[in-house]
Amino acid sequence: MLGWELPPHNSGGLGIACYQLCKALAKKPIDIEFILPYSADHGIDFMNITAAHPQGIAEVLRSGIAYDSYKYVLEDGTESWIDIYGQQELYEHAVAKLVEAREFDIVHAHDWLTFRAALRVKEMKQCPIILHVHSVESDRSGSKQGNPLVKEIEGLALHAADRVIAVSQRTKDAIIHDYGVPADKIEVVHNSIEAGDLVASDGDNAYHYLTLMKSLGYRVVTNIGRLTIQKGLPNLLRAAQKVVAKHPKTLFLIVGSGEQYYELIDLANDLGIGPNVIFTDFQRGKRWRDAFAIGDLFVMPSVSEPFGLTPLEAIGYGSPALVSRQSGVSEVLMNCLKVDFWDIDEMANQIAAVMQSDVLRDSLAQNAYHEFERMSWDSVSDKVHDLYQQHAGAAR
């Protein structure tokens, strides 16, 4: 398995999806070696985790999130900062060196950062490769253009792959549209959530202000995620303006950071709803969980979301969800509100409906929770394991 991150050293959904998938797969009669571009303690015992350090590199130090530059410490003690593109090149060479003396039945690689390494292994070892697409470049860039260097890797690798896994139908459609990969080579395997893995809320909610305001008739809309173009926050704020006009006692809790942070603060004030919108910056742990729990509605207004785990987490903490139809999760989740990301009026309409009706809020939340409880990564690993068997013959 070739991957870029694992929790707790993850910056987003990719690391969690890899972790949960492997944990479920480990119950099958297979051995997994997970090769990462950095070394760290993950506290994982159900598979082997190996760091693929490039030749001459003593240590790779992560900075900030997974998509920033990392600091590489060379064996002679010198240091250098390497950007994401340079890192995936180094990873390719390191993986090639690492696999020289090893045997695999199948290589399963996650997202473009590991695709060149997968191609290299296929070339060296002639083993089948399965490429797992959690997002394509047009999702991440928020446009059809994207970075041509990244698109080149994605296109080349997806054509050369023995099999492609897409995390949603919309991701499969995007792969076909963007790269012309034959549809019958792409399998849709939706992500999931492991209900039992959710850390329970405890004690007082960390948002004291919101707790009191709710007791006074206010209602809270939450969004948790990176403040970046793909996530569609400006549309949520424009809808918020319309909601506040109808239901002034609505507060919006925006948890996260990103390059749109200041732009969104300005926008909230330009729209005249500054006092109603609370920006908290990036949060972890209790403050992250409590943000889900305090919400009367979780909104994921993404412009393009290959899957989108956060609405399921919100549901797990008792909040109903409104998701954009441009998300993979909207393909599997039934008991939630759905809206096109560009339809600000309808988004406002649906948010206002929940703000004004606790009955609607509670029935949405309860029914969604029943769906949530039935979700498991075991069904995901069943599908993936079937694919392994098709391509590697009988798994060991």
Which chain residues interact with another protein by CB under 8 A?
206-213, 216, 261-262, 265-266, 269-270, 272, 274-275, 278-280, 287
Least distance in Å: CB of 316 to another protein?
Answer: 22
Least distance in Å: CB of 122 to another protein?
Answer: 48
Least distance in Å: CB of 237 to another protein?
Answer: 12
Between 197 and 270, whose beta carbon lies closer to another protein?
270
Between 182 and 272, whose beta carbon lies closer to another protein?
272
Least distance in Å: CB of 278 to another protein?
Answer: 5
Least distance in Å: CB of 287 to another protein?
Answer: 7
Between 195 and 213, whose beta carbon lies closer to another protein?
213
* Residue written as token pair 């991150």: 5
Between 193 and 253, whose beta carbon lies closer to another protein?
253
Label the pairing between strands 297-300 and 219-224. Answer: parallel
Between 71 and 249, whose beta carbon lies closer to another protein?
249
**If we measure between CA atoms, which residue out of 251, 309, 306 comes closest to residue 275?**
251
Tokens in use for 301? 């207004």
Between 269 and 357, whose beta carbon lies closer to another protein?
269
Least distance in Å: CB of 213 to another protein?
Answer: 7
Determine contact, residues 368/361, Cβ cutoff 8 Å: no
Report the distance separating Cα 92 and Cα 98, nearest Å. Answer: 10
Least distance in Å: CB of 225 to another protein?
Answer: 17
Report the distance separating Cα 195 and Cα 189, nearest Å. Answer: 18
Between 29 and 285, whose beta carbon lies closer to another protein?
285
